[in-house]
Structure 1
């Protein structure tokens, strides 16, 4: 069985043979479009600054069938590039058992459908899909609430995960936040300009003046950052025209250069804090390699930081194959995994943070009519008790309980609380007890049941009609 972690800053392919699980390949989501061939992964990354007009670095996140701005004879769309890289990575490892995809938050429903088609076209059939942050944090017992931070090529992604008890205990994705223009490429570009300024100031050599030197600088940067993980300073050496140029820079200088990005990442983490609760922050190795960033997170009050293993999302998908695998005609992105609770997890009360106003539903829509969601619960079912605020459903609807569930606002969050026999489902994931809702969520009651949609109505000034 294969699993693919689709984080474009480092796409990881893992494989399980018998009881042995291993990472067999890792490559960045980069492509170089030449007329006679399409280079992807490490080979493309090694030339991305040599031929910048031919380079593409956002085709996984911008997955579509729209024309590329500079197409080639072999690749016309982002989907073509995704297929080229997927086929290159999977071709040597096809085992007939299919593949599990660990997908970061933020893909649209249309993109997920296109992604399935791209991977299936390689000859390896998709057997299941799971949220990447959830899979990455599923390899050990879960606290009541955990934050996962990842650096993609063009953005940072923070995912909030919560432990759910009840008759279906486990870890589930609650929400996510994206910080555009604060991904790995932006950090690298910041440091490259910072380094170039010091080379020019000390030696008058500008490593950004020629494409070959710029590519060399990009290739050397990861090694210099690795040195700064355990040293306070690093000597940077580059050769040009049979001369060698050197500058010595301190770790604190790299940290200061990245201040704008680090401040935004800290804001992302701090903004997800729930009052009165500690921060359990789990980060990828890409995040951990940024000089001084983990130390900055640890300055936050009650913040515990854990660095996850390389390819944690791919490995987590394989470990939870039974929960992720679905029939080909019933594939759905999994947001909940049966992860055990950490020692203190069950002792903590379940907390729900306020939902940001732009994401907080004000009404639930059913058959063209909108019902307001307030602090007074809205009971939904086909025979709700008299005296309760209710949305009555058709009595003939199969799988619907008399009092199936209720919706309410609590401390700035909109919640669903399930009371049914046949289940309530948010975006095809069954609700265990209570869970938060956001604008655009689809609420299915029963099986096959009925579907309602969470919407937000606004006033003339654009403010939600709370």
Structure 2
């Protein structure tokens, strides 16, 4: 049998076997009478049963007594154990052991506690690795690479060196505002927009409030463009409202300067640096715009499978040790640059009939091509430069690339053909 990869991010623990995700489980616990619920079940009723709810037990993993302790739930470790046991119940039948990908801020004591909990839960652990190291190992790396990640109650920035091998050199919490706070802010922004537009308050009733909070995480990850529609689905009916990007930006704009400053302070002089954003930051309004203020920085988004894929690729280095150790180094080097080769030209312009428009740093393409190539505040897609690569983010339907659907962050090459609502646009390179 195979081993399971369990990524311990409290915004959603993810357990995978052979590349298939078997469990996604947020770090929530709700006590209803004598019944303890964890994971998705707890998250889905946290607003309905708010009297005994805890979502800090992974972030503050330890054995300090809880303020509202019970004989069976004495401390955060008891809650984490119950959650881990439930995740393993969905996973263990498909795997004979587990590898943990752990937050960069976990201490030696917390790692020891985690291994003790795993032993009590009957989980054979064959490896533990820093999640940021694992996330970066399968990517194209510069000598200095930074990984930005978000948890329920913090944002972390991990610095990695890759000149000889991939090694974690620093890990810092850049903000104590995590995605839990942002979900709450975004939910209130959407609720206020409902009130202003329809006089309907989804926070007035517990069931509609819970429905709103249940939908926020997935909705945010899919938002793009200047205007996004939120469709609230409740047992009493469905309602919709339009929310602008600027409204959503107010929830997170204050934390972006902290992120930018943390990255800027770690940039080596005269070198290009890769900044890798985990998939948990997908859809955050204005984040890429804020990072565009940094020079010599190439920003890219990691796929959800990044940690799992790298652990499988480097499984021998992680799991073949005599004892389970906290892995913060992998045999991966920065990408080599072949000075004798001529790099392929990146596209510089969009060509429609006889009209060529420069892509520049970013070009937000209008869906309506009746008057030619134009930018729009509500584009069908955005083309942008990412170091020496040109990429595309789709925002609306009706767009294909070389006949196929377009995924966010897809790289573009000279000769590629974008089809926008039945009209072809060619990517070309124009010598300056």
Q: Fold match, TM over 0.5?
A: yes
Q: 1:261 to 1:212 in 2, by over 3 A?
A: farther
> In the alignment, which of 292, 304, 329 is matched to residue 286 of structure 2?
292
C-alpha separation in 1, matches of 2:334 and 2:103: 23
Per the alignment, residue 141 of structure 2 pairs with 142
Q: Aligned pair 1:3/2:5, yes or no?
A: yes
C-alpha separation in 1, matches of 2:320 and 2:287: 39
Q: 1:244 to 1:90 in 2, by over 3 A?
A: closer
Per the alignment, residue 252 of structure 1 pairs with 246
Q: Aligned pair 1:57/2:55, yes or no?
A: yes
Q: Is the 8 A contact 2:137 2:166 kept in 1?
A: yes
Deviation at 1:153, TM superposition (A): 0.3
Per the alignment, residue 160 of structure 2 pairs with 161
Q: 1:85 to 1:242 in 2, by over 3 A?
A: closer
Deviation at 1:260, TM superposition (A): 1.2
Per the alignment, residue 429 of structure 2 pairs with none
Q: Is the 8 A contact 2:175 2:255 kept in 1?
A: no
Higher Cα Rg, which structure = 1
C-alpha separation in 2, matches of 1:143 and 1:322: 24
> In the alignment, which of 215, 240, 246 is matched to residue 220 of structure 1?
215
Q: 1:242 to 1:340 in 2, by over 3 A?
A: closer
Per the alignment, residue 171 of structure 1 pairs with 166
Per the alignment, residue 430 of structure 2 pairs with none
Q: Aligned pair 1:208/2:207, yes or no?
A: no
Deviation at 1:201, TM superposition (A): 3.0
Per the alignment, residue 100 of structure 2 pairs with 101
Per the alignment, residue 319 of structure 2 pairs with 325
C-alpha separation in 1, matches of 2:87 and 2:204: 34
Where do residues 54-453 of structure 1 align in structure 2 (5 Å cutoff)? 54-72=52-70, 74-94=72-92, 97-165=96-164, 170-229=165-224, 231-238=225-232, 246-325=240-319, 330-344=323-337
Q: Is the 8 A contact 1:142 1:345 kept in 2?
A: no
Q: Which moved more, 1:304-313 or 1:193-202?
A: 193-202
Q: 1:252 to 1:79 in 2, by over 3 A?
A: same
Deviation at 1:223, TM superposition (A): 4.5
Q: Is the 8 A contact 2:31 2:37 kept in 1?
A: yes
Per the alignment, residue 426 of structure 1 pairs with none
Q: TM-score, normalised to structure 1's length?
A: 0.67
Structure 1 runs not aligned, ≥5 long: 348-466
Q: 1:130 to 1:249 in 2, by over 3 A?
A: same
Deviation digits for residues 225-248 of structure 1, max 9, x if unmatched? Answer: 24522x431233447896765432
C-alpha separation in 2, matches of 1:191 and 1:307: 22
C-alpha separation in 2, matches of 1:75 and 1:311: 33
| SS across alignment from 1:276 | coil
Q: 1:117 to 1:207 in 2, by over 3 A?
A: same
C-alpha separation in 2, matches of 1:114 and 1:346: 49
Q: Which moved more, 1:241-250 or 1:146-155?
A: 241-250
Deviation digits for residues 171-214 of structure 1, max 9, x if unmatched? Answer: 00000110343211121122122223333333333333333232
Q: Is the 8 A contact 1:158 1:177 kept in 2?
A: yes
C-alpha separation in 1, matches of 2:269 and 2:203: 46
Deviation digits for residues 129-156 of structure 1, max 9, x if unmatched? Answer: 1111001111134321100011100000
| SS across alignment from 1:260 | coil
C-alpha separation in 2, matches of 1:99 and 1:39: 23
Where do residues 23-34 of structure 1 align in structure 2 (5 Å cutoff)? 23-34=21-32
Structure 2 runs not aligned, ≥5 long: 341-432
User: RMSD between aligned alpha carbons?
Assistant: 2.6
Q: 1:246 to 1:156 in 2, by over 3 A?
A: same
Q: 1:97 to 1:164 in 2, by over 3 A?
A: farther
Deviation digits for residues 70-99 of structure 1, max 9, x if unmatched? Answer: 234543221111111111111243256421
Q: Is the 8 A contact 1:2 1:100 kept in 2?
A: yes
Deviation at 1:280, TM superposition (A): 0.7
Deviation at 1:32, TM superposition (A): 1.1
Per the alignment, residue 15 of structure 2 pairs with 13
Deviation at 1:115, TM superposition (A): 0.5
